[in-house]
Amino acid sequence: MTDFAPAKRASLHARTATRTSVLTAILIILPLLLAVLALCLGRYIVSPGNTLSILFSHVLPIEPNWEAVEETVVLNIRLPRVLMALFIGAGLAVSGAAFQGLFGNPLVSPHILGVSSGAGFGAALTILIFRHMAFVPAGALVFGIVAMVLALWISRRGGSSSLFMLILAGVITAAMFEALLALLKYVADPTDTLPTIVYWLMGSLTSASYEMLAWGVPLIGIGIAVLWAVRWRLNVMSLSEIEARSLGTDVKKIRWVVIIAATLVTATTVSLAGIIGWVGLVIPHVARMLVGSNHSALIPASISMGAIYLLVIDTVARTATSAEIPLSILTALVGAPFFAYLLKRSKGGWS
């Protein structure tokens, strides 16, 4: 009697490999295509042909057949913003995936340790003191890191800290910085400073520039690279602490590495664009539905899908109405109902 089991396994393996290859190609190509489309769209429409010609004219000998204003719009206004949306979306999604794996909790977001609240306070304090947006990213980044350090210090008990204590410490830290932020709003000038603080906190990419990309992208890239380097350890950390130790994992060391790297990414994204919610909570779930919980596939998928999601949201924010819509409003309007659907579909599980 012929044994068809090996043939079936080979066929299943081939279909799985084909599906993986197609999905990988889509996740690589789609952000690039959407980026070109985003460069075309806006109050001033630029054709895809002219957009691509403008982009490639700096590396290829292309004779300019476009208007000067089109080149200014594409290169100086839209390109920095599109790149920032891609990197911030990718960073938030990867941070969310890493924290969810570390804490073994699908409800965890990149803001779990109070980093966003600390960064928001730092930005508001900088606006209040200097009354200029140039110093806001530095203030937000510094206080975001301060919030992480404070949460880690609060969580330590007897020389170590548990995940439960970390979550409680994050809640305490966030509450403290939110109270301080409310105090700054109370004393801020309601005709000038207060609107600036409120608008910045709602998230926006209007201040995107090559200068901000020059220092922000390396920090986000370093954090993502570190999380990618410990991707196999993140798979183990998703188990219980006892199981992780039994597999030879230095739980304490990996926990510190993941927290510092993810916090660096989160604090940098907040310092660049304000507080943008739901990206780091929802996108890892969507990526997990497509590629599973293995972080070797989950991290690249989160990078691509996070970049796509925020790029689409930002494009809608700047083109839907005459007045730009803050990003956090759109991410919440889209993310909250979709996350509710995921919870209903998965009954609170991972997939």
Entry pTM: 0.91
Q: pLDDT band at residue 165, thresholds of 50, 70 and 90?
A: confident
Residue 311 has pLDDT above 60, yes or no: yes
The ranges assigned to domains in the chain are 78-109+203-346
CA dihedral over 339, 259, 205, 140, signed as positive or negative = positive
On the question of pLDDT at 349 being above 50, the answer is yes
Mean predicted lDDT score pLDDT of the chain: 88
Q: How far is CA 282 from CA 69, 285, 304, 337, in A?
A: 38, 5, 14, 10
Residue 280, both tokens: 């780091």
Q: Which two tokens stand for residue 263?
A: 């916090």
Whole-angstrom distance, CA of residue 93 vs CA of residue 282: 8
More confident residue, 41 or 3: 41
Q: Which amino acid is at 331?
A: T
Give the length of the chain: 351
Give the Cα separation of 112 and 19 in Å (integer): 34
In the chain, which ranges are continuous DSSP H helix? Answer: 5-40, 48-56, 68-71, 79-103, 115-130, 136-155, 163-187, 193-201, 210-229, 231-237, 241-246, 251-273, 279-291, 295-319, 327-346
pLDDT exceeding 90 applies to what percent of the chain?
62
pLDDT above 70 covers what percent of the chain?
A: 90
Q: Is the pLDDT of residue 312 over 50?
A: yes
Q: Is the pLDDT of residue 249 over 90?
A: no
| pLDDT confidence band for 3 (50 / 70 / 90) | low
Q: How buried is 254 (Cβ within 10 angstroms: 0-12 exposed, 13-18 middle, 19+ buried)?
A: middle
Q: Which of 197, 198, 219, 217 is nearest to 209 (CA)?
A: 217
Q: What is the mean pLDDT of residues 319-343?
A: 88
Q: What is the mean pLDDT of residues 70-99?
A: 96
Residues 88, 272 contacting (CB under 8 angstroms): yes
Question: What is the predicted pLDDT for the residue at 347?
Answer: 64
- What residues contact 350, with CB distance under 8 A and at least 6 apart? 106, 288, 293
CATH code: domain 78-109+203-346 is 1.10.3470.10
Q: Provide the pLDDT for residue 103.
A: 86
- Coil, strand or helix at 41: coil
Q: How confident is the model at residue 351 (pLDDT cuts 50, 70, 90)?
A: very low
75 pLDDT above the threshold of 90: yes
Q: Region 82-96: what's the mean pLDDT?
A: 96
Examine the pLDDT at 243 and tell me if it is beyond 80: no
> Which pLDDT does position 66 carry in this prediction?
87
Query: For residue 1, what pLDDT is reported?
Result: 47
pLDDT bracket for residue 338 (50, 70, 90)? confident
